[in-house]
Structure 1
Amino acid sequence: MEKTRVRRSTFSLAVVIIVAFIDAAVGGSSSISRNKPAVKTIKSEDGDIIDCVDIFHQPAFDHPLLKNHTIQVCQFHSRLAGPTSTAKRETLAHVMWPSYYPKSKVKKVSSEPLQQLWQKSGSCPQGTIPIRRTQKNNSITAVHDQSQITVVREIYSDHYGDNKTRLYIYWTADGGVKTGCYDLLCSGFIQVNPRFVLGGSLYPVSTYDGPQYTLTVKIYMDRPTQNWWLFIQDLPVGYWPISLFTNLKFATKVQWMGQVANAQMTTVHIITPMGSGHSPLSSLVDLGRAAFFKNIMYVDENGASVAPGFSANFVSTNPNCYHAQGYDGSDIPGHGFYLFYGGPQGVSSKCN
């Protein structure tokens, strides 16, 4: 059987991720970023080369609208971190924080966090940010039908050249016509944290009926500045300045989703499963079997974090192959609202 080439594979098990789609007008064009001079270089065991670049020399400041931009800095919010080790508190104290943080009533329950593989080989010094060195085959933009900010945990072999699960971002102000890109491949997103590499691989991965490893992602608007901040594992990574967009004071749509895409035009369904390949049943029986989003919330007009509940639309574009089911676990401490999703691999006439 001829192997079908897959552009985008699936989200792995146990991922917590927010994808925010935002309608806005174009605020200016973004320029293509080239590799920047490094203060330090780290060779990751997964083959990635990580350059530690001076925070003030990062690609964002090549954007014409950000030439005179001042990086947003605020005091460390100790109330956000909770009890931490001395080492972690020292790390947090050197990270730039937004001046506003949305309220949440969800009590956290400890879980196995994901890490990035490059961190096993070293770290970037304070005052720098880690940037994955650009390869020649990396694409710069992708076309979408609206302005958006996107955070993804996914296998994307066409873009990154391997089958590793990676954390990456994408943004555009005009559907990818003149603005936007993945990660830091163009000017726009301002990174402030030396701990995370956008586009970097993640480890370990969850296993069916085995340990589950989660990634907590938040996107919200810092009200005083109106910049859109990205948090990963409850740490600020950076922000999309409001000057990249116009009339961008709120999101008109928020989506959480899994996807499988085929780069070839064919009537035969691709053999890649979505998630673990397990079709969800909409219960905690799916936990550890189906891919899921946990503690799903959006920030309302009052700045409070709200679970969408069953008022959200659950849509499967191909219900014969893949399924999406909601589950309300709010009565169980630390669980909140779930979206279970996925479907099996294999060629099926029902999926065509």
Structure 2
Amino acid sequence: MLIRQRIVRQTLLVLYFLLSYDGVQGEIKLSKLEDLEMEKQLKLLNKPAVKTIKTKYGDTYDCVDFYKQPAFDHPLLRNRNFHPKMKPTLARTLQNSNTSAANKSLNIWLKENGCPFGTVPIKRVTKDDLIRQRHIPPPEGFAFESTLSNINNNSEPTKSYMSSRGYKLATVQIPYDPNNKFAGAGMSATLWNPHIESQQHTACRLKIQKGSDILQAGWRVDPTLYRDTKTRSFIHFQAGNTHCFNTLCPGFVIVNSKFPVDVSFDTIQQRGDKKVWEITLFIERDLANGNWWLLYDVNNEQIGFWPQEIFTKLTSFANNVEWGGVAYSSPSVSEPPMGSSCFPVGDPAYDAYCRRLNVLNDKGQTVHIDKTNVRVTDPNHYGIMDEPHWRGAKYQHMVFYGGPGGFETLC
């Protein structure tokens, strides 16, 4: 009991420093007590390494024993029957013939080829990381607020969520229905690297939700989270009042020893390139036990899962799915660019996009999306074009999105 109380107390301290936000950046002076608490947090976050490896971008990853990874610090995940050879029971059959960047990103390692089997790559956290991440903004904080007409000429308006202050969205969403039952969703999205400054971030994401429980995955440029402005993969979960990126707090169980959840992508799209660089990803519910799995690439590379035990709403099916771009800036900072940093023109060689939008129904069957609602919270700075049947293709739902934000761009 004492051990459990101590871990819970340490976890709360980690969350306090990671999630508190005061909107102020610059030099941070720590008291002796704060410095001591941060040292304790680093010991909690940085698990003993079986091996330490580096990427060619200078990131340090510790190869942590599967059973000692941060996920198992969650009080609800102790003594669970998880193991490194876990395989999901999924019905995923959708295939994608275009080039994906996921396999290329496996070449990030400087001298190695990922971690040994039985271990998982966890990015090492420094004290500077903890100080910087104190300024991670709170979640978007959606609430029912307005109605939007369906762009596909449906006559009835559909309720939608509106974003909280600081967040700008250019997304499409399945028409809201509390009786929806989705066992997952997927997309392919081009990789871009918008110019981002301090107190800003920009991302492309797949979002699955039921009530206050949310799962997200995609790519992100976020100097507050990552200390650099590289385009990196990210995952995020929200369970009630708790939210967390990547492995910064317990929750996501990694099973893949080669592919970090916060990997920096090798190849980035440039405007006008005829060859596109994509990441393909899926979030799917294991119909056998309710765990939510993250899969990358057309080969369904299994990265890990969020156990259903950590949720209250997503213990069953999701009822809301969303795809597209999101950008954030603090109130004192101009709006950041999104996607290609230009308003979309409907050309895959010039626009950021999400394509082949699909969901799984409650039987695990792939359903291609025809009807969606468009959401642009700041049309002066961002735009979106929704094409349910791109160039007449039956299963090619394309969403072009992006914009310059408050910056001048040559588009």
Aligned equivalents of 1:303, 1:162: Cα separation in 2: 38
Does structure 1 retain, via aligned residues, the 8 Å contact 2:239–2:311? yes
In structure 2, what is the equivalent of residue 245 of structure 1?
311
Which of 61, 64, 89 is the matching residue for 2:72? 61
Q: Deviations over 1:220-258 (max 9, x none)?
A: 110110111110112111111111112421112111121
Q: Partner residue of 1:318?
A: 378
Q: Which one of the candidate residues 99, 104, 118 is aligned to 1:127?
A: 118
The answer (yes or no) to whether the contact 1:29–1:63 under 8 Å persists in 2 is no
The one-letter amino acid of 1:62's match is D
| Aligned mates of 1:219, 1:345 — CA distance in 2 | 29
**1:185 counterpart residue number:** 248
36, 60, 79: which one aligns with 1:49: 60
**AA matched with 1:113:** A
Matches within 5 A, 1:170-209: 170-174=236-240, 177=241, 179-209=242-272
1:314 aligned counterpart, secondary structure? strand
Q: CA deviation at 1:200?
A: 2.2
Q: Equivalences for 1:12-161 in 2 at 5 Å? A: 31=11, 32=14, 33-71=44-82, 96-104=86-94, 107-114=95-102, 115-116=105-106, 118-122=108-112, 123-136=114-127, 137-138=129-130, 139=133, 143-144=138-139, 145=141, 146-161=212-227
The structure 2 residue matched to 1:254, chosen from 301, 321, 332, is: 321
Q: Is the 8 A contact 2:381 2:406 kept in 1?
A: no
Q: 1:29/1:110 Cα in 2 relative to 1: closer, same or farther (>3 Å)?
A: farther
CA distance in 1 between partners of 2:294 and 2:46 (Å): 23
Mapped pair 1:303 → 2:364: yes
Q: In 2 relative to 1, CA 142–61 (structure 1 residues): closer, same or farther, beyond 3 Å?
A: farther
Instruction: For 1:111 and 1:45, locate their aligned partners in 2 and report how far apart those are by CA, in whole Å.
Output: 23
What's the counterpart of residue 397 of structure 2? Answer: 337
Q: Counterparts of 1:121 and 1:332 in 2: how far apart (Å)?
A: 43
Counterparts of 2:326 and 2:97 in 1: how far apart (Å)? 28
- Alignment deviations for residues 185-207 of structure 1 (CA, whole Å, 9 cap, x no partner): 11111110112112221111111
Matched, 1:223 2:287: yes
User: Counterpart of 2:369 in structure 1: which amino acid?
Assistant: P
- Matched AA of 1:34: L
Residue by residue over 1:120-179, the C-alpha shift from the partner in whole angstroms, topping out at 9 and shown as x without a partner, is: 4312111111111112224377533332111130100111111111111111211xx3x3
Distance change (3 Å), C-alpha of 1:188 and 1:346: closer
Q: Report the alpha carbon displacement of residue 331 of structure 1 after superposing the two structures with TM.
A: 4.7
More strand by share: 2
Which residue identity does 2:239 align to in structure 1? A
Query: What displacement does 1:332 show?
Result: 4.2
Report the equivalent of 2:38: none
Distance 1:219 1:252 in 2: 14
Q: Which structure ranks higher in relative contact order (CA pairs < 8 Å, sequence separation ≥ 6)? A: 1
Alignment of 1:286-297 (within 5 A): 286-297=347-358
Summarize the Cα distance change of 1:347–1:67 in structure 2 as closer, same or farther, 3 Å threshold: closer
CA shift for structure 1 position 305: 1.5
Alpha-carbon separation, structure 2, partners of 1:59 and 1:71: 14
Q: Which runs of 5+ in 1 are unaligned?
A: 1-27, 74-94
Contact preservation (8 Å) 2:269, 2:277: yes
Provide the identity percentage: 31
> Shift of the alpha carbon at 1:346?
5.1
Tell me, in whole angstroms, the C-alpha distance in 2 between the residues paired with 1:30 and 1:203: 36
Instruction: State the 1:29 CA deviation.
Output: 10
In structure 1, distance between residues paired with 2:261 and 2:329 = 24
1:56 is paired with a residue whose SS is helix
Give the alignment's TM-score, normalised by structure 2: 0.65
Match status 1:166 vs 2:217: no
User: 1:117/1:181 Cα in 2 relative to 1: closer, same or farther (>3 Å)?
Assistant: farther
User: Which deviates further from its counterpart, 339-348 or 254-263?
Assistant: 339-348
Aligned match of 1:16: none
Please give the alpha-carbon distance, in whole angstroms, between the structure 1 residues aligned to 2:80 and 2:9: 16
Deviation at residue 45 of structure 1 after TM alignment: 2.0
- How big is the shift at 1:347? 4.6
- The alignment's TM-score, normalised by the length of structure 1, stands at 0.75
Match of 1:91 in 2: none
Flag structure 2 segments of 5+ consecutive residues without an equivalent: 1-7, 15-43, 142-211
Q: How far 1:68 sits from its partner (Å)?
A: 0.7
